[in-house]
Structure 1
Amino acid sequence: MQNKLSIYLLFSLLLLALLAVVSLYTGVYVFEKHTIAETISGIFNNDGTVSDSDRFVIMDLRLPRIVMGILIGSALSVSGTCLQGMFRNPLATPDLLGITAGASLFAAITIVLGAYIKPYIPEVFHFSLLSIMAFIGALITMMLVYRISTIDGKTNIVVMLLTGVAITALGFAVMGLLIYLSKEEELRDLTFWNLGSLGGATWTKNGILAVVIIVCYSFLINKGKALNAMMLGEKDAEHLGIPVERIKKQIVILTALMIGCCVAFAGTISFVGLIVPYILRLIFRSNYHIILPLSAVWGSLLLLTADTISRTIAPPSEIPIGILTAFMGAPIFIIILIRSRKTM
């Protein structure tokens, strides 16, 4: 089993590396004719073989964007996979549970009312206020959904989905009020959060995302066997020696942290946490020992593909990436609903 997983991961990583190279050289801007090796060597050696314009496009525009797509796609996919394992249902994703909406709402509040909030918090937190607020919004929403939909260790999937719908509706209502109250610059920022984009990628943001994801993965990525046991039921998992409550708390807090950071840096990107686990489940059944680590790579593949399409399908303009992922995710959501009718 471990050897098969290693082969699957290696193949997926090679495919991701190939896609990253294709994405780097795809777009309106045409590079000077250099091989990939010559371009990389010229950039790092700074020997003048690569023009300043090529260097700027690669190092300041496309490469940070590609790295952010890889990081956020991976985080969203792993978050969805963990939540589906914890709730034991394929519909439990950050978007459908309202977690993304909660993070977006708190981010929107920070954008519009941040000038009034900052005087009351220490100055050291001003730079990261947006990320902190998005995390708080995601965490509050996650805890609220879990408390309302879970009774005696059993999750009522209908109540869970309805809670997510209610929170999303409330988020849209407050967002509408904030849009009404916002100024022109704030309105542009709010539009960015609602539609989702990787256009604001920087190396600083990628560094923060990388640290958050590495910390979260150190706790989550090896939980496949525990999630397999939890699929039998929480009591049965406890009899097998699985610390169910501790794992559930880790999933709640760490997925909220990842979703909060993703929303803070890229806005609302929906359905990644639904599409990837669904595809992997078709291939590997419900074996989270394989699905969980693979989802970390396949989520990157999905989002990087969507971002490459979004900035090349209608040049020189850019289609918001959240629109593309919604177009891909909505049919899969309907398919899952149809297949799950008898169990809901």
Structure 2
Amino acid sequence: MEFIGAFYLTSTIKGNIRWAAPELFEIPDDDEGDEMAVSLSTECDIYSFGSIALQVLTCKVPYYNVKKDVIVLGQVIRGKKPVPPKESQIAPLHWEFIQRCWLPRASRPSVREIVSFVAYEREALVSKETIIRDFTSQIYDKLSSPVTTGSFGIVYRCTIESSERKTEVAVKVFKVDPGRTIDKLKTAMLRELKVWLRLKHSTIVPLLGTAQVEPPLLALISQWMTSGTLYEYLKEQPIITTPSARIKLAKGIAEGLSYLHSENVIHGDLHPGNVLIDSSGNPCLTDFGLATVAEDPDLQWTTTIAGGDFNPRWRAPESDIYSFGSVMFFVRPFVSL
């Protein structure tokens, strides 16, 4: 045991002092025992989170310039906080938030504030780093017969070759419709592209990039899903007859919908044709042409944009949940509406 001023270093101190909150080393005035009375609280974890965040962003432990922990303890007790290395490139906003975690207990951010801050910064970083790959040269003159035709576009199956491998992709080409102006079609195309770029999840068909097929409209390039739509899968796979197999499909669709709603995205056109099945039998949601992003006024669905192009058998005017119920009716038992 080592004596430091009025404090003892004993085994009652839990954790490592370089990350620990200073209140863990306080001794209450009414302490009558020989052991230190440690003042634990959720705010202690917030302080430690700030120290861990500093280490993650700078690749240096807190108090990196102090070798002996006993000296670190003295600095913690005196209220001296860690500092980032001079050569670090930590963003001022991040450094400011870390320092908030080291404020007196009552002034520290809550866990909810931390989660919101990290989520916002992650989304901003992803948005900055998102690069839309151009596949024009790789699919030029390779589109033959369309696989399917929808309200807004025609989907083709195409093979993209690289030095490493061949990849099958789906190419959605927006239709030039005499009933819609090019400006309206371009607005619809850009809306779907912006919504799709926001979505990164195992239950969402991956968007790979774009291509110039029918200028000025871009074609959207996505991963080809080998088992087709949910409708085709249930029709052509008689083995999918057990309740557990159908519940697995329903669960996957529900997880996809849950992810969309967690991102404030309303699909707006959920039906078996917009649920694709991968090679492992997992459902993935696709086709975000009628999707709405709740908090983004530029990505709101309107009848002017959509032109009423949705399937009335599956869609309620206000709810993805209604559509999910219709899809579940279709999945179990397999009955075509």
Please indicate the TM-score interval, normalised by the length of the shorter structure: under 0.3
Higher relative contact order (CA 8 A, sep 6+): 1
Structure ranking higher in strand proportion: 2
- Max radius of gyration: which structure? 2
Structure ranking higher in helix proportion: 1
With normalisation by structure 2, the TM-score equals 0.23
